[in-house]
């Protein structure tokens, strides 16, 4: 009986092993699911060669053509005037921008003027006796001498004898000392050299201003200049008087400028030439960032494509019968974002957008732009 039971258990184990092995084999031989084939889209455009203008792009910040930095040449307290010395304040040509307290210095100038008048008056008796022929012009000079006004020029000295006589009485030296003091007195007031606006004010009323101290900056807001750097390759294409289109960074403002100066030296570090573009517009401001588009020349039978489509600067993808292909090209001009290419036949289906994982011979779904 025990023998029969052992045999039965063995048969059961053997049968179970057979079924388990069959299950494992069947599970490993499951049919592989077919992965659907993905066909990438290729956006194309049909090549039509035309005349493509070469446009040199450059940028920079606007600076006022007429700009003056204000510095003090004397020392004094800044006085309050009709217009406050503040940024944004407008002044007309010849109007006082700022004035320093010069009461003490003014008194010393008046004293020197009085001294000059007294010296000339003291020589009049000698002139009438020794130089009667010139005494009348010196008497006329005294009669017209006004100590409250600018000292007039001395009468013309007609002979060496007259010059030696005046020098011996110290009149010529005293006169030029007075003129020197008057010139220095004029520096206590700074007048606008032209009509403009104050763009920087570094002092306020009541401030002690010292000699050599910067006071502010004054500009003419009507005319601006843009300095741009152009590659020496295109320097021969620049001409004084050439019209240039300028726009701001957001392209919401477009104005026309003119090339007025071209530097005659090439920057050794960057191999560029500086060109200066003059522009006028009430919408422009000092320091505004502008982009300049300078039309250089025209290239015949060419197309313009984004630089991102170019492979190794010499290959482009095209589509032939829904198959990608690579063609060799020769770029004629490289811009910042685009490249001009000649030699591609008309009617070629050029890929206009980058395709992920693209390769030569790849099957694609063709979609025409627009």
State phi, psi for 112 to the nearest 5 degrees. Answer: -70, -35
Structure confidence by residue, pLDDT tens digits, 49-68: 998 888 778 888 999 999 99
In 3D, which of 318, 312, 329, 331 has the Cα closest to residue 358?
Answer: 318
- Residue 70 pLDDT: 94
Residue with tokens 């191999």: 271
Token pair recorded at residue 174 = 């005293």
User: For residues 314 and 329, is the Cβ–Cβ distance under 8 A?
Assistant: yes
- In order, the DSSP letters of 230-280 are EEGGGGGG--TT-EEEEEETTS--EEEEEEEEEEEEE-TTT-EEEEEEEE-
State phi, psi for 90 to the nearest 5 degrees. Answer: -100, 145
Going along the chain from its start, the domains and CATH numbers come out as 42-52+300-368 (2.40.420.20), 56-64+221-298 (2.40.30.170), 67-101+188-219 (2.40.50.100), 103-186 (no CATH)
- Residue 130 pLDDT: 82
Q: Which residues of the chain have pLDDT under 50?
A: none
**Cβ neighbours of residue 85 closer than 8 Å, sequence gap 6 or more:** 78, 97, 98, 198, 201, 203, 204, 205, 215, 216
Looking at residue 339, what DSSP letter applies?
A: E
Residues 22, 177: Cα–Cα separation, whole Å: 125
């Amino acid at each position: 009986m025990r023998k029969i039971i052992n045999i039965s258990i063995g048969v059961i184990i053997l049968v179970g092993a057979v079924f388990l092995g069959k299950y494992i084999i069947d599970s490993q031989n499951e049919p592989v699911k077919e992965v659907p084939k993905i066909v990438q889209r290729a956006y194309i455009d049909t090549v039509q060669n035309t005349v493509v203008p070469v446009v040199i792009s450059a940028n920079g910040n606007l600076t006022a053509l007429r700009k003056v930095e204000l510095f003090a040449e004397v020392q004094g307290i800044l006085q309050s005037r009709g217009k406050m010395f503040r940024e944004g304040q407008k002044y007309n040509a010849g109007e006082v921008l700022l004035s320093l307290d010069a009461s003490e210095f003014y008194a010393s100038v008046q004293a020197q003027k009085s001294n000059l008048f007294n010296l000339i008056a003291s020589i009049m008796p000698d002139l009438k006796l020794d130089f009667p022929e010139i005494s009348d012009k010196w008497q006329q000079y005294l009669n017209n001498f006004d100590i409250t006004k600018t000292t007039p020029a001395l009468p013309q000295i007609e002979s060496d004898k007259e010059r030696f006589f005046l020098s011996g009485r110290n009149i010529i030296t005293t006169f030029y000392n007075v003129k020197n003091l008057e010139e220095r007195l004029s520096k206590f007031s700074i007048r606008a050299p032209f009509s403009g606006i104050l763009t920087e004010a570094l002092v306020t009323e009541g401030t002690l201003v010292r000699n050599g101290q910067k006071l502010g900056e004054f500009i003419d807001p009507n005319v601006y200049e843009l300095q741009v750097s152009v590659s020496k390759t295109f320097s021969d294409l620049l001409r004084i008087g050439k019209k240039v289109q300028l726009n701001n960074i957001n392209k919401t403002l477009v104005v026309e400028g003119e090339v007025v100066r071209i530097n005659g030296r090439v920057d050794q570090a960057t191999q560029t030439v500086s060109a200066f573009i003059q522009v006028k517009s009430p919408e422009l401001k000092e320091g505004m960032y502008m982009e300049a588009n300078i039309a250089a020349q025209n290239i015949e039978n060419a197309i313009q494509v984004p630089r991102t489509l170019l492979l190794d600067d010499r290959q482009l993808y095209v589509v032939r019968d829904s198959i990608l292909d690579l063609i060799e090209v020769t770029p004629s001009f490289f811009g910042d974002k685009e490249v001009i290419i000649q030699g591609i036949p008309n009617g070629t289906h050029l890929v206009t957008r980058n395709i992920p994982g693209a390769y030569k011979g790849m099957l694609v779904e063709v979609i025409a732009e627009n």
